[in-house]
Amino acid sequence: MVSENQYDFIIVGSGIAGLYTAIKAYEFNKKVKIITKSTLQECNTKYAQGGIAAAIDPMDSFEKHFQDTMNAGAGLCDPESVRILITNAVDRISDLINYGVPFDTINGVISLGMEGAHSFPRVLHAGGDSTGSLIEKKMSDKIAETDCDISENCFVSEILVENNKAKGVTIYNKNKKEMETIYGANVVLATGGAGELFYYNTTPEVATGDGVSLAYNAGAAISDMEFFQFHPTALKHPKSVPFLISEAVRGEGAILRNTRMEPFMKSYHSMAELAPRDIVSRAIINEMKKTSSDHVYLDLTNIPKQRVISRFPTIYKTCSAIGIDITTDLIPIAPAAHYMIGGIKTNIWGETTIQNLYACGEVASTGVHGANRLASNSLLEGLVFGKRIVERAIIGYKWSNQNYAYDKIVSVTDKNIKLEVENKPSIESLQKLMWENVSIIRNGTGLSDASGKISQWIQMITEESQNYMSSQLYHMLNVAYLISSSALLRTESRGAHYREDYPETSEKWVRHTTIKKN
C-alpha cells in the first residue's frame, strides 16, 4: 500500500526527542507524522529517573557544566556540540515548564540534585524519581492538542533513499498486518537506544537499536558504537527484573558496600560513589569477583527516612513490593546495560550523511557524550538538537555532505575464525552472547567470537527470509555487529569502553570510529 499523504516531517520514535521535534515542527504549521512501534508513551524517556541537567543555580555556570561534560567524555566530546547543549539548556527547560512539567521545588525554588561526575548540584527532577514519566506524559498531552498524525504499533523496516536523499519510510503496520509506504520531505530518527541487546539491562523492550540499523542499511555513517554505558546500580533480586536505582540516590549520600559490608569506592576514585559511571561499574564488578558474589549493596540507611520516601517514591515502592524497605534494608544491586553513547553520526544540526535524514536523542552520535555520557545530559540533548533539526529543515540552511575518513575494517569472519553455530539466532541467545562477550569488561578473543557468531546469524536470517528487514531480530543483530566490531577495532580502554587486553588509554585513539556500509 502506498500512502497518499506527503508529510513535511516523518518522525520515528515517541520519546522526548521525537515528541519535542514533532511539537516544534507543528508550531511551524508543518504536516507531521509520528511513527512508534509500540504505544506513544512506551519509550526510554518514560523510565528516566534521575532528571535533566542544566546550570540554573546562580552559583553554577555554563562553564562548569561544560567542563564536567568534557571531563566525563574522556577526550572524545566535540566542544562545539557540548557548548550548544549547555547554553541552550535554560531555554529548553523553560519549554518543559510551559508544557506543564512539575519540577520539584523547595520554598518555591526548583530543587537541584547531585549526580556522578558533576561538580555542582544541577539536576532538575519531577515527582522525585518520576522525572521521565512526567515529561513523557506532559509531552504526550501536548501532542494530543495538535493535528499530528500518529501511527502506533508500526515497525519501520526501511528508509527510502534516492540519490543519497531520504524520501520516506516503509513500515509494517501490526494492527492491519500489512506493509505501507509513507513519503515525507524530512525523516527524523528518534528511536532511542539499544539496551535490549544485553541480557541484563534497565531499558524497556522497545529499546532495540532499530534506528541505527535503519540508518546503516540506508548508507548513513555510524559512529562510536563501542561506547555503551552500563549503569552501576540496577536492582539484583530473584523476584524482580533488573530495575534502575537512580544515580541520584548516591547523590543524596547512599554508600556502596560489598557483601562483607565494606564500603569500597574510596579505594577506586577520589569522588567515591560519585565517580563516573564506567569507573563505578568496573569497581562493582571487581568487588563481586573478590567476594564471589553476583551483587553488592547500596546503603541508604544514613539518609533520613522521609527524605528517602519523598525523593525516591518509585524506587521505594518497587523495592517494598519485593520485601525490601530501602530506609532500613540494603538494596542488592549489580551493573546493567543502560545507554547507547554512539549512534548515527550527525553534525551540530542533527543532519546525517544522507540529505533530509536527521537523528536526535539517544540514537544519534552528536559528539556531546564522547566516550562516556555525563549523567542527566541525555534528556537535554533530545530537546536541544530536536529544535535545531526543525530550524535547519524549515529555515532552509543549505545541506552539505559530511566527509569522514573511514578506517578499513577487516571483517572478523575473514580472519580464520570458524565458529560452529550450535543454535539458530534468537533474541535471548543474542542477549546472552552480548552480555558475556561485549559488556563491561571486554577482550579481543571475546569480541572476535561475538562478531563472528553475529555475522553468521545475520547471514542465516537474510538467506532464510525475503522479509528479513521487517524482523526485529535482524535489526538487533545488525546493531550488535556494529558494537562488537567497533569494540574490536578500538585497541585501548577509554570511558565506557574497557578492554582487559588493552587496559591503557592511548593518545593515538583520540579519534572516532566511523562505519559505513560496504
**Angle, alpha carbons 155-207-486 (nearest 5°):** 105
Cα angle for residues 209, 448, 205 (degrees, 5° grid): 20
Which of 458-497 are b and which e, b meaning 16 or more Cβ less than 10 Å from the residue's Cβ? beebeeeeeebbbbbbbbbbbbbbbbbbbbbbbebbbbbb
CB 158 within 8 A of CB 469: yes
Cα end-to-end distance, the chain, whole Å: 30
Q: In what order do the strands lie in the sheet with 222-223?
A: 364-365, 343-345, 222-223, 514-515
Beta bridge partners of 6: 183
To the nearest 10 degrees (0 to 180), the angle between helices 131-144 and 378-395 is 30
| Residue 1 CB burial class (10 angstroms; 0-12, 13-18, ≥19) | exposed
User: Phi and psi for 332 in degrees, rounded to 5?
Assistant: -70, 125
Report the distance separating Cα 196 and Cα 191, nearest Å.
13
Strands 154-162 and 165-173, bridge-based pairing: antiparallel
- Are 209 and 193 in contact by the 8 Å Cβ rule? The answer is yes
User: For every residue of 319-372, which 3-state class applies, written as one string?
Assistant: HHCCCCCCCCCCEEEEEEEEEECCEEECCCCCECCCECEEECHHHEECCCCCCC
Name residue 493's beta-bridge partners. none
Catalytic residue among 83, 92, 122, 277: 277
Residue 27 burial (CB < 10 Å; 0-12/13-18/19+)?
Answer: exposed
d(CA 207, CA 338): 10
For residues 254 and 273, is the Cβ–Cβ distance under 8 A?
yes
Beta bridge partners of 229: 339
Edge-to-edge strands of the sheet including 52-53?
52-53, 123-124, 112-113
Residues 184 and 180: their CA atoms lie apart, in Å, by: 13
Number of neighbours of residue 126 by Cβ within 10 angstroms: 23
Let me know if 499 is a catalytic residue.
no
Q: Which residues are catalytic?
A: 277
